[in-house]
Amino acid sequence: MKILITAGPTREPLDPVRYLTNRSSGKMGYALAEAAHDRGHEVTLISGPVSLPPPEGMIVVKVETARQMYEAVRSHLGGQDTAIFSAAVADYRPVAKAEQKIKKTGETLTLTLEKTEDILGSARSVFGFTGYLVGFAAETERLLEHAHDKLARKGCDLVIANDVSQAGIGFDSAENEVTLCLPDASPFPLPRQTKAALARELIAFITQQAALKKTL
């Protein structure tokens, strides 16, 4: 199977020395890419800026911003059987990047932000992707409600709900604990475990489900 995976954060520049970002380390996405590769899949990893070594045996495309990740997904999604969007993409970016370093002049500073491209939301509607589509939902409240909303709105086959309010899991941790949300089944919780072990379990499940979808 050909699998595209997004991983890591994006950085949205404010000026030549500053950017808006989040706490994603890329560990979850890289673990998924390694697990998919170990299972014999052909992997394309689209990665935001992380300090992890690039995994071997797959195509790795490095990007910085949400717009660059959108363009990289657009050009690599054709021909993929499965796409897994685990990246923590910035939802907003500064409307303009200042040419020079912003100086400390007033007591407050107001930034004007605009929405970034919704990459997962574009997979079906803009890129015409018909394969098995997996999104994540990183939430701090009403986890399953938000996850099911994303499942329906973005045309996903599976949303992996990640409660990022809990210490020790989610962003920048060695372990994770998630719940699988499918269109016609009860939410299925997976126990807390290392991201490598969880990735193997997720890839086994996704491999089976994607093959099933192909036969229908």
Quick note: the x/- pattern for ligand PMT over 163-202, rule CB under 6 A, is -x-----xxx------------------------------
* CB atoms closer than 10 angstroms to residue 155: 17
Token pair 């939410």 in the structure block, residue = 187
22 an active-site residue?
A: yes
Q: Given candidates 5, 14, 24, 179, which one binds ligand PMT under the rule CB under 6 A?
A: 24
Structure tokens at 149: 């909303």
Number of chain positions touching ligand PMT (CB under 6 A)? 29
Largest Cα separation within the chain, whole Å, is: 63
Q: Are 123 and 155 in contact (CB under 8 A)?
A: yes
Nearer to ligand PMT, 162 or 207 (CB): 162
Binding flag, residue 86, ligand PMT (CB under 6 A)? yes
Q: Are 51 and 30 in contact (CB under 8 A)?
A: no
Characterise 34 by phi-psi region: left (phi > 0), alpha (psi -120 to 50), beta (else).
Answer: alpha
Q: Segment near ligand PMT (CB under 6 A), from 19-27, 34-42, 75-83, 125-133?
A: 19-27
Structure tokens at 213: 């979808």
Query: Which residue in the list 18, 20, 22, 201 is annotated as catalytic?
Result: 22
Q: Segment near ligand PMT (CB under 6 A), from 33-41, 52-60, 80-88, 124-132?
A: 80-88
Binding flag, residue 28, ligand PMT (CB under 6 A)? yes
Nearer to ligand PMT, 17 or 87 (CB): 87
What are the residues whose beta carbons fall under 8 Å from the beta carbon of 32, sequence distance 6 or more?
A: 5, 7, 84, 86, 199, 202, 203
Q: Given candidates 3, 137, 151, 202, which one binds ligand PMT under the rule CB under 6 A?
A: 137
Token pair 């995994």 in the structure block, residue = 55
Q: Residue 89: which H helix or E strand, with range?
A: none
So which residues are the catalytic ones?
Answer: 22
Q: Which residues bind ligand PMT (CB under 6 A)?
A: 6, 8, 24-28, 66, 85-89, 91, 116-120, 135-138, 150, 162, 164, 170-172
